[in-house]
Structure 1
């Protein structure tokens, strides 16, 4: 009985090793394909979700595949992260690993581009150590109570951001914070400041002329390029210390150098 148990454990270990090895080969093949489809310089990271992999490989159907690339450059932006989740993928294993033309059928793609604080900072002259923070109702109410315009109460926190950084004022580093609305315009991130303070959260509102000058400084239109795999941008938000543009595309065929709708 003990020998049988040991033999079974060895077989299970071999199966797991073979499964992971086959998954790694397939992920490498998909990575090369995605580099071309998304227009990247290097192969992105690819993860085929689900275990065991071989069961999915035999059927050629995969529930989800994650593709991610970091430090992507687009124009002035140097540290973009690009992520795509492919759902319900049809890709026979011989086609993936073979040398012939490759084509993947995908029911839905969610594409995401993340713009980090470092990239936003490069676009705001005179600002250093920029942070991107989420906004909630309390933040907006507090700004109004401390002298901000009452229209701040009408802002949807889901469509807002707080940008915090430092400026040099009279030879000293001073904190500057701007509450701004976020709008998605032609796939680009539009940042429109509504309240700017110097000297911390409890600072008094600035004179109108100074407020206008700083608002102009924080007014930005950021173009991160297209979402991966022809996904249509539908949402812009602050998330995890970055700005995130996301969207979806349905019923795609990903082939050699081409993305097309199949539905």
Structure 2
């Protein structure tokens, strides 16, 4: 099988192949012996180890069983599934505009009951006003050179965010104080956005913490990420949104969120930081 046209997907496949090869070597068996134990041809073992053939979930289970490494099955299966769709290419999603990008996660939002959201750059999408979202998405569309469907994209984002008012769902947000200060829109729009943030903090199913500039850090500021029900993570970068499902990866991000949450202030102290940010606009 030729290399995958996406370099990211191909790299993920190669990483998985490397991990399987190391498991075999750690077990002290040859590719031929592995093939005998798994009941397939030696050439199949070679193709998997050299990332020419993506293994099935059953292949991974057989491989680990043959090597006495059954404890690694969950992570490897998750990595195998990620190799095809872990990196959602924003440019591909955005070819028809930003609206599609907003709608691409609607099903995931509907399925999720507990959201943990950490942001270090912008107001979380869940908490954005139409004015703030318009300014942000307009900037993204201009930078990425995508079709200008910002009005439709903002409407889609607002519809998507209706899950926030569903009391059966829980939301925990941790924001860096810098998020309150970055000027991505006019002073008036930012003031309205910060006022909306104060209002959202009154919702019973929403918890908002803010990490002050003055906080003694145990965890450095990280790129924005969201944990969905403790089983999936979306970590954003400039060119892609990484969907992480390996249990070890999800555990790592969940642990990072809990550490960051401990550094955040809440209640009156958080409201004071927002009020200071509003005051700085004038």
Q: Normalising by structure 1, report the TM-score.
A: 0.26
Bigger relative contact order, structure 1 or 2 (CA pairs below 8 A, ≥6 apart): 2
With normalisation by structure 2, the TM-score equals 0.25
Over alpha carbons, which structure has the higher Rg? 1
Q: Which has the higher helix share?
A: 2
Structure number with higher strand proportion: 1
